Amino acid sequence: MTDSSVLTAHKTLLKGGFAAAAPGLVAVVAATTTAQSTLSTYTGMTSNGVAALGVVFFCLAFLFTRSRWWAGIPGLVCIVWILCFLSTKAFRLLMLYYQFNPIQSLYDLAAPLSVISFHLCLMVIAGFLGWIMIKALRLGRSIGPRPVSRHIWIVTGIWLVIVIWQSAPPV
């Protein structure tokens, strides 16, 4: 491989790592801004557990940048889940809008777009992140894994134990 193709491959893997870290960023922001009762209702974990889950996603994103292609799969699953969730929400909002406002002209067809614009924006962002991750995943599989120190495996394992400990029901 030439220097420019190696640099391009590293850039693609770095972009894929940033995209794979997006669910971790969401988890850390949710852990720091959401009320404890809401977090425990929706996730079954405390804010420490949700933050630890975010750190696990960050560690997996690092492994993804080191051509460990399997480390991008949890992030890709999260992206696909959020795309399904947002499209379902947008479809329900459209059906509810059209139930009370029948379509009579082209304007009536486009009128509810302002209602679902938030969902559409998030779907475009999630789709773009998923596309970047798939591109990096294909590249990572083709070039093979690069070396990773034992420290990252140990740190990932510790944070994974914290997540499992936080998600376990209290005795």
8 A C-beta contact, residue 9 and residue 17: no
- Per-residue pLDDT, 107: 86
Taking the C-alpha atoms of residue 121 and residue 118, their distance in angstroms, rounded to an integer, is 5
Q: What share of the chain is helix, strand, coil (3-state, %, to 5)?
A: 85, 0, 15
In the predicted model, residues of the chain with pLDDT beneath 50 are: none
User: Which residues contact residue 124 at a Cβ distance below 8 angstroms, ignoring those fewer than 6 apart?
Assistant: none
Domain map (residue ranges) of the chain? 3-167
pTM of the model: 0.81
- Per-residue pLDDT, 77: 93
- Per-residue pLDDT, 83: 94
- Per-residue pLDDT, 25: 92
